[in-house]
Chain A
């Protein structure tokens, strides 16, 4: 069914269709309307779930961690400082291998206080062992939530579904809401290998030694390092599982595409702009304008940021003269994290060709600074003509 709604409602509908049984959340702008909507579904009896109005984000994820360990499908959502406040729990959820799905409605982090959009919040959680998926419109939000539950439960790794605050969360767009039967066909009930159970007691997340250790039956059990290695290993194989998710999704819902990247006018492009989230759709307007001027540019959205689809990205950029990475976050003291990751992928996969694309990094829209399409276009154009700067260049800075 096609409806016109905002991005937060798209996410809430996705969570509802996935039949999450336990929802725990704490208010923070711009996430609030999403979790308020979920509380409405639960109170109205439209959703058979427990809604827990916790006293902090740390506890929101604690509830999800425990409920997931007890064998239920869970949901939470947050933004900015809420996500930072969860940080310890974010790491814990990944280490405990729990398939939690959390919507991150991207917002700038303090200090100073700022409630507007950028992506510093989720990017700062890059190394926590969570899968990160970024959405560029409302259809992608609802579809990604549904894919995320399937994928998280398949690989036992939690997933952040990230979408831009306000630009997506509070704007209205038409999108298709899948039928419950379709979602049920796609997503089987959650059946973990082990859930807390007095009939079959186990001690979970116990102190684990640096080295492997014998259990009471004389069998070797993993040390901490083995457990962490497996998280990395299974994160990497998640890339293949994500392709399977996309294939299944496309079969059942009749839409889908490349699971990792979303290229636009890239095939014959000499220069490709790269980014995460809604910015990449804005960049399409810039690309169209520059094409009219005879400049061969394209834009590629990265949909899957962790695990990093290095090979898919490098293949898509093979033979290009330049790559221009636009980011709403950065690793202070160096450059945008996506730019660094992308350079490493290019080096890894294309260095042998002797032809590495030049990479330019732009920082935009920090703390919700307006991203003017005209300004984006001019900067993109400049990067196709000459080296703008070694350091990341900040667009729209008024110093």
Chain B
């Protein structure tokens, strides 16, 4: 069993200065802060245009204390490859290379480069922070926006299509490590990063990121909403190690409990789901129940 980090044993050294440009209550600010603690000082970052570009500050001020290369929207993973290649020719085998991109930058425009790097087996960690929309440009739909969410360009009918399952796509690249995390469970994220740091090839993290302006809720409820997504069984925390799937943290405990919070509570807490009808919610509840029936069965 690996050691579980607690809020008391989390390192105190910060790599993100306080006072970033993120919105109040931003889930990304939490995930990034804790994520960089796990990555540590000997790390190089790659960031495409996104909320994170803004969070990191405007030239010449930067809120991140690690070297960071800002790159074009579609090129994140390829840039990681480039840095790794450079480090290799310089005989540097110790520095961790980590890319942090949004869901749009990952599931849509950056998918080709990510797939390429993963297929080549380039040794870096890719973090997709998923606030479920193009937030930097004003909250338009992305490939990972869930069905039923009203966005800036699905204004009345909400998104009609399903959320794209990017971790599954990445798992299909036979990666050593794939993880689904949430900003509402930062210590799970922290422990998973430590766990996979020395695994070979590309490691993929998907992090659910509550976003007050994009999702429509009061900033103080961010953690609560992030947790509701997990407690309702709507968004699961898990890891896939060399193809072996395993629920982790709060999701793992839900299997023991055999009791999910009704998903309706998650939807009703956010204005983006305001157009979902009771019938649609019942339908989604059925899908969740079926998914969890599978988890329970595996557990027996």
Interface residues of A (CB under 8 A from B): 21-22, 24, 48-50, 52-56, 58-72, 74, 88-89, 92, 196-198, 200-209, 213, 215-216, 221-222
Contacts and interface: CB of A to CB of B under 8 A. Distances in A.
Nearest to B40: A198
A67 B115 CA distance: 19
B60 A58 contact: no
Contacts of A197: 67
A71 B65 CA distance: 20
Given A54-B78, A206-B58, A49 B89 contact: yes
27 contacts: A52-B120, A54-B81, A56-B113, A56-B116, A58-B78, A62-B72, A62-B82, A62-B113, A66-B80, A66-B81, A66-B86, A67-B86, A74-B82, A89-B75, A92-B71, A196-B67, A198-B41, A198-B44, A198-B66, A200-B67, A201-B67, A202-B67, A202-B68, A203-B57, A204-B70, A206-B62, A215-B61
A65 B71 CA distance: 9
B43 A196 contact: no
B108 interface: no
Given A66-B69, A88-B72, A207 B82 contact: no
Which residue among A62, A196, A202, A206 has the maximum number of chain B CB atoms within 10 Å of its CB? A62
A198 B79 CA distance: 17
Nearest to A63: B82
B56 interface: yes
Given A66-B71, A205-B69, A209-B58, A55 B85 contact: no
B71 A205 contact: yes
A152 B59 CA distance: 25
A205 to B, nearest CB: 4
A202 B87 CA distance: 17
Contact of B82 (A24, A53, A213): A24
Secondary structure call for the B interface = mixed
B116 A54 contact: yes
Contacts of A89: 72, 75
B64 interface: yes
Nearest to B43: A198
A53 B85 CA distance: 12
Interface residues on B, range: 35 or more
A129 B113 CA distance: 25
A207 B58 contact: yes
Contact of A215 (B60, B79, B119, B120): B60
B170 to A, nearest CB: 15
A59 B80 CA distance: 10
A60 B78 CA distance: 8
A221 B81 CA distance: 31
A239 B3 CA distance: 62
Contacts of A50: 85, 88-89
B95 A198 contact: yes
B54 interface: yes
A202 B60 CA distance: 10
B74 interface: yes
B46 interface: yes
Nearest to A215: B60
A49 B61 CA distance: 35
A379 B88 CA distance: 55
Given A66-B69, A66-B71, A206-B70, A59 B113 contact: yes
Nearest to B115: A55
Contacts of B79: 62-63, 65-66
B80 A201 contact: no
B82 A70 contact: yes
B2 interface: no
Interface in B16-66: 41-44, 46, 53-54, 56-62, 64-66
A92 B62 contact: no
A69 B53 CA distance: 18
Contacts of A63: 78-79, 81-82, 85
Given A204-B70, A206-B56, A59 B75 contact: yes
A21 B90 CA distance: 9
Interface in B182-239: none
Contacts of A202: 62, 67-68
